[in-house]
Structure 1
Amino acid sequence: MSFCSDVFRANFSSAVGANGPAATDLLCTELQSLADGVDTGFLLFSAYLVFSMQIGFAMLCAGFVRAKNALNILLTNVLDAAAGAVSYYLFGFAFAYGTGKNANGFIGVSNFAMHEFTDYRTWIFQWSFAIACAGITSGSIAERTKFQAYLIYSSFLTGFVYPVVSHWVWSADGWACAYKADGNYLFDVGVIDLAGSGVVHMVGGLAGFWAATIEGPRLGRFDKGGKSLEIRGHSGTLVVLGTFLLWFGWYGFNPGSQLSIIGANSVVVGRIAVCTTLSGAASAVTTLFARRYTDGHWTVQDSCNGLLAGFAAITAGAHVLEPWAAVLCGFCTAWVFLGLCKLMPRFRYDDPLEAFQLHGGCGAFGLLFVGLLAKKEFILEAYSGKDDSTPTPYGLFYGGGGKLFAAQIIDILVIAGWVSATMGPLFFLLHKAGWLRVSPDVEIAGMDVSKHGGSAYHDHEREAGVRLYAPAEFRNRQNAQEEVDGKKGTGGSIQATLQGNEQV
């Protein structure tokens, strides 16, 4: 923003006297430099908070898997950040935000490998979002996926699939952007998705859906009749730790996406933080009591996932919703999440972290919720390019018509189609090439001892080492292979084997 309007320049210059114009220019330059410095600090600090969410993802994933696979899932989180940095540097950022004479609404076309690009604060902020998207997907296919598959899909997701979607919604050239440079908005408003309920969460969740569907469930996840059988994670402590780290990081994820904290933006940033908190809290409490009613237990893991579901949903509209609407969003999101968790196992869908239900389903719901309750005054406040001189569609329930809601629906459908058309074939090819899923022997023994040279817990490794390779563990190899290939097998015997070695 500019601190020096024409009125300010005229008044200040006349007050100073003969040297007024020069003094005014100097003062305005210094004020603008100070404002840019404050915004740079705000954006970089937000980027560091978003990056710290990788710690949260790592702890959450480790807690939700069995101890015998803890090292594997931790290493995949490291890989998401490292491989994602290289692919986003070479291609991803250019596809997302590259501009130039050939700019178009579908994909960026310049600044590959940061050529002729020096806005480093923007790059580091956007990279932290790209790797968050990849981290979502890794949870869906935990405990049974080959490491080379992680490397391939993570690079492809952060280098191409995710950047194209972020170009649509967050680039000034994107066809769905709510702050397009030419002012030609989709349905006169564009898609409102502040920090990525669709761009980040839907993309990561849908990619995980296709991976888990093509790869198939873990051994012992369903019995021979298709009944869902619980495979417990090994550490509720790590789940809670990861959840709080993600909660902390979300205060960079959502408020930082306003990109500035100067002037009127400070009010918007504060509202974003409040709405983020309330939606997550309402969803967590609702999930906790709903599970208590249905299962008879106060479940830590479900409450943590309910909290994150509320965050994933509010991420789209925290800047344009009233605080009371954020509470309502969290309450409704909890039921969306619980409904999907109840539905998906009926299709033999196995997602150890419930990533598709949490991020894919709740992210889509968050986009729809914005179309219902986005407040006009908040839209004008958050998007400085919009004003009362032109029609601005807003929430359907506020009387704003259906244009914003329609734009949000189109965004959901196009994202679903894009991710399905890109990530689905990729995972199918990896499956056909034999590069996607580990063998039954490796899956039963555990990824850590089989592929990573030992256990995450050394005392546990010494105590369980004999059991890891006992003949009884492999008595049902043929049955395990049949289960991987999609045949029914006996199921129950595999489950008995895995339960006998449950925490390994």
Structure 2
Amino acid sequence: MSGALTCSAADLSALLGPNATAAAEYICGQLGTVNNRFTDATFAIDNTYLLFSAYLVFSMQLGFAMLCAGSVRAKNTMNIMLTNVLDAAAGGLFYYLFGYAFAFGGSSEGFIGRHNFALKDFPTLTSDYSFFLYQWAFAIAAAGITSGSIAERTQFVAYLIYSSFLTGFVYPVVSHWFWSPDGWASPFRPSGDRLFGTGAIDFAGSGVVHMVGGIAGLMGALIEGPRRGRFEKSGRAIALRGHSASLVVLGTFLLWFGWYGFNPGSFAKILVPYESGSSYGQWSAIGRTAVTTTLAGSTAALTTLFGKRLLSGHWNVTDVCNGLLGGFAAITGGCSVVEPWAAIVCGFVAALVLIGCNKLAEMVQYDDPLEAAQLHGGCGAWGLIFVGLFAKEKYIDEVYGAAPGRAYGLFLGGGGKLLGAQLVQILVIAGWVSATMGTLFFILKKLDLLRISEKDEMAGMDMTRHGGFAYMYYDNDDESSRATQLQRVEP
């Protein structure tokens, strides 16, 4: 399946003899029909694969919702669940109107796309609706990361504003830089125009998705400040534990499942052979990507398990789940271009990065209910550095196309150019998201649209903002129990 069959009626007629012209024309006509059917089948299979991957990535929204719900206190469950729904809904509309055009609409300067707003003149020669749906699922994943950082103290209108802005503008610009063929740092640019001659490699989004979502959450949480009661006046941290470890574990498994669409699905096509002529084809690379994803997450989970045991003396399931997700966030950027053994190194270091970031957060009195900035921002940044150290030349050529002078991992003898490009990616993402989302959150704070009142925060947003608790602990006819519940929200 490496290409279409070709046939010349004149050449075939000469081969078969002077009386075989009609037969030659018939044979060539049948080969043309086969080629057309082959092309149609290839398109159908590739689109089915991409749509299935999009559905897997979208299923991560369910995982995010369960993880968020389990990580907050019961009195804020309804609020955080609603924000997850609106991340997907608002993200769908704004990514359709603006986001996709900014991300993949084509540009001359490599900064921002300028075509296909509201999917005008779509599909194109290179993209169809399945590709749009897949990219939208990525965009709302970034927004979902941010919602966890600012949970339990943020006004509902602020969620709507930041989610629309992030999915419609901030995230798409970053994805254009590194994923669009004409993005200024894209590895798909012509060799003479690539950053440091190689371009930054971020296959499925350690930087584009995870760092963007994590840093956006970091800016929101810093500007809002910690939840009331999270730190004493002396600076000592007080644990405000989530109300359901069961939801956290179930959400983590759903995210794990969805990551097999996130990482292997980023190939977008399954029937395209390697440019290097590898006999293994795209199937092997997709399988390898799923394996590296699994190994990194598993290693990070076990490292966190024993690391936190040494620090706290407990076997903590929530910490293990976060460690697992940190390993996934880290391997996402290089999942397709590293060996399985290197993925184990990635997961091990990712767990240490997460533990270290959490310790630093406590020291500076930074409060993030889901550890989203530490997990997605910190581990995502490590994932980009990891690519610059461990990316294999053969796999880079297979995934991105062989090209003279293309760099690979420093520890594998590829020099420092790729690592330099990865460091540039970290810096520009951190700068761009901090400048845009930081400004937005600051404006919301000045307009008194960011944080809820102390009274509402202490009572819980489910009752004060959403009309009732997510969990009902009394019967409708039990007036005494109802009165007890209502007393809990009195000032």
- TM-score, normalized by length of structure 1? 0.89
CA deviation profile, 1:205-260 (whole Å, cap 9, x unmatched): 00000000000000000001111110010000000000000000000000000111
- Structure 2 counterparts to residues 477-496 of structure 1, below 5 A: none
Q: Paired residue for 1:279, among 267, 284, 296?
A: 296
CA distance in 1, matches of 2:427, 2:261: 28
Residue 145 (structure 1) aligns with: 154
Partner-residue secondary structure (3-state), 1:17: helix
Cα separation, partners in 2 of 1:197 and 1:464, compared to 1, 3 Å:
farther
Q: CA deviation at 1:9?
A: 11
Partner-residue secondary structure (3-state), 1:459: coil
Deviates more, 1:24-33 or 1:38-47: 24-33
Q: CA deviation at 1:66?
A: 0.3
RMSD over aligned CA atoms reads 2.1
Q: CA deviation at 1:327?
A: 0.7
Cα separation, partners in 2 of 1:401 and 1:444, compared to 1, 3 Å:
same
**Alignment check: 8 A CA contact 1:103 1:109 kept:** no
CA distance in 2, matches of 1:244, 1:18: 58
CA distance in 2, matches of 1:285, 1:465: 46
CA distance in 2, matches of 1:373, 1:339: 22
- Structure 2 counterparts to residues 100-139 of structure 1, below 5 A: 103-118=108-123, 119-139=128-148
- Structure 2 counterparts to residues 42-57 of structure 1, below 5 A: 42-57=49-64
Matched, 1:177 2:182: no
Aligned length: 468
Residue 341 (structure 2) aligns with: 324
Residue 454 (structure 1) aligns with: 468
**Alignment check: 8 A CA contact 1:9 1:24 kept:** no
Residue 254 (structure 1) aligns with: 263
**Alignment check: 8 A CA contact 1:165 1:415 kept:** yes
Q: Structure 2: 5+ residue runs without aligned partners?
A: 17-22, 274-280
Q: Structure 1: 5+ residue runs without aligned partners?
A: 475-504
Matched, 1:466 2:475: no
Letter in 1 for 2:32: D
- Structure 2 counterparts to residues 345-424 of structure 1, below 5 A: 345-384=362-401, 386-387=402-403, 390-424=404-438
Residue 44 (structure 2) aligns with: 37
Residue 62 (structure 1) aligns with: 69
Partner-residue secondary structure (3-state), 2:407: coil
Q: CA deviation at 1:460?
A: 6.2
CA distance in 2, matches of 1:383, 1:8: 34
Q: CA deviation at 1:340?
A: 0.3
CA distance in 2, matches of 1:276, 1:73: 28
CA distance in 1, matches of 2:289, 2:9: 34
CA distance in 1, matches of 2:263, 2:380: 14
Residue 78 (structure 2) aligns with: 71
Cα separation, partners in 2 of 1:283 and 1:407, compared to 1, 3 Å:
same
CA distance in 2, matches of 1:395, 1:5: 38
CA distance in 1, matches of 2:5, 2:194: 28
Cα separation, partners in 2 of 1:399 and 1:5, compared to 1, 3 Å:
farther
CA distance in 2, matches of 1:437, 1:468: 23
Residue 234 (structure 1) aligns with: 243
Residue 276 (structure 2) aligns with: none
Q: Paired residue for 1:296, among 313, 323, 327?
A: 313
CA deviation profile, 1:255-292 (whole Å, cap 9, x unmatched): 00011111421111101000000000000000001111
Q: CA deviation at 1:203?
A: 0.2
Residue 208 (structure 2) aligns with: 199
Q: CA deviation at 1:189?
A: 1.5
Residue 333 (structure 1) aligns with: 350
Matched, 1:161 2:174: no
CA distance in 1, matches of 2:75, 2:467: 12
Q: CA deviation at 1:394?
A: 0.3
CA distance in 1, matches of 2:251, 2:343: 23
CA distance in 1, matches of 2:202, 2:10: 40
Q: CA deviation at 1:144?
A: 0.4
CA deviation profile, 1:7-33 (whole Å, cap 9, x unmatched): 999999979834343232221121111
Cα separation, partners in 2 of 1:407 and 1:131, compared to 1, 3 Å:
same
- TM-score, normalized by length of structure 2? 0.92
Q: Paired residue for 1:269, among 286, 289, 296?
A: 286
Cα separation, partners in 2 of 1:460 and 1:220, compared to 1, 3 Å:
farther
Letter in 2 for 1:366: G
CA distance in 2, matches of 1:332, 1:57: 24
**Alignment check: 8 A CA contact 1:445 1:468 kept:** no
Residue 102 (structure 2) aligns with: 95
Q: CA deviation at 1:183?
A: 5.9
Partner-residue secondary structure (3-state), 2:239: coil
Partner-residue secondary structure (3-state), 1:391: coil
**Alignment check: 8 A CA contact 2:71 2:248 kept:** yes
Q: CA deviation at 1:319?
A: 0.3
Letter in 1 for 2:50: L
Residue 80 (structure 1) aligns with: 87
Partner-residue secondary structure (3-state), 2:193: coil
CA distance in 2, matches of 1:215, 1:464: 33
Letter in 2 for 1:191: A
Cα separation, partners in 2 of 1:442 and 1:320, compared to 1, 3 Å:
same
State the identity %.
59
CA distance in 2, matches of 1:210, 1:156: 14
CA deviation profile, 1:382-440 (whole Å, cap 9, x unmatched): 113x24xx122000001101000000000000000100110001000101110000000
Deviates more, 1:360-369 or 1:455-464: 455-464
**Alignment check: 8 A CA contact 2:459 2:488 kept:** no
Matched, 1:435 2:444: no
**Alignment check: 8 A CA contact 2:87 2:143 kept:** yes
CA distance in 1, matches of 2:372, 2:12: 57
Cα separation, partners in 2 of 1:17 and 1:6, compared to 1, 3 Å:
closer
**Alignment check: 8 A CA contact 2:198 2:406 kept:** yes
Letter in 1 for 2:411: F
Residue 425 (structure 1) aligns with: 439
**Alignment check: 8 A CA contact 2:7 2:31 kept:** no
